[in-house]
């Protein structure tokens, strides 16, 4: 899976776009939308062709959450259809 660079069409509602781990070479940058009032961060991911094949063949998704010894935070993993995907921004 690769994170996609989602566009923030929700600034008027207090949503802030951020890139997590930007400038941290040990991590890949992660574009996200921060929903401050609602208390969550949203990222969107695109499966690679081999992952699509595994899912289509009845495979599953795994979610690794690195807590680094801190308490586990609630997470949610969902699938969205093409009509539900957020708009993308081009990478400069």
Q: pLDDT digit string (tens) for 2-44?
A: 999 988 988 988 999 999 999 999 989 999 999 999 999 999 9
Examine the pLDDT at 90 and tell me if it is beyond 80.
no
pLDDT band at 50 (very low <50, low <70, confident <90, very high): very high
Contacts of 87 (CB under 8 A, 6+ apart): 6, 7, 9
pLDDT band at 58 (very low <50, low <70, confident <90, very high): very high
Phi and psi at residue 30, to the nearest 5°? -125, 100
pLDDT band at 83 (very low <50, low <70, confident <90, very high): confident
Q: Where are the domains of the chain?
A: 2-84
3-state secondary structure of 55: helix
């Amino acid at each position: 899976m690769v994170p996609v660079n989602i566009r923030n069409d929700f600034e008027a509602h207090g949503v802030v776009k951020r890139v997590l781990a930007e400038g941290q070479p040990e991590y890949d940058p992660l574009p996200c939308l921060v929903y401050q009032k609602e208390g969550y961060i949203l990222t969107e991911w695109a499966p690679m062709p081999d992952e699509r094949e595994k899912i289509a063949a009845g495979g599953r998704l795994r979610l690794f959450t690195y807590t680094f010894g801190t308490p586990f935070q609630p997470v949610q993993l969902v699938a969205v259809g093409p009509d539900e995907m957020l708009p993308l921004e081009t990478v400069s």
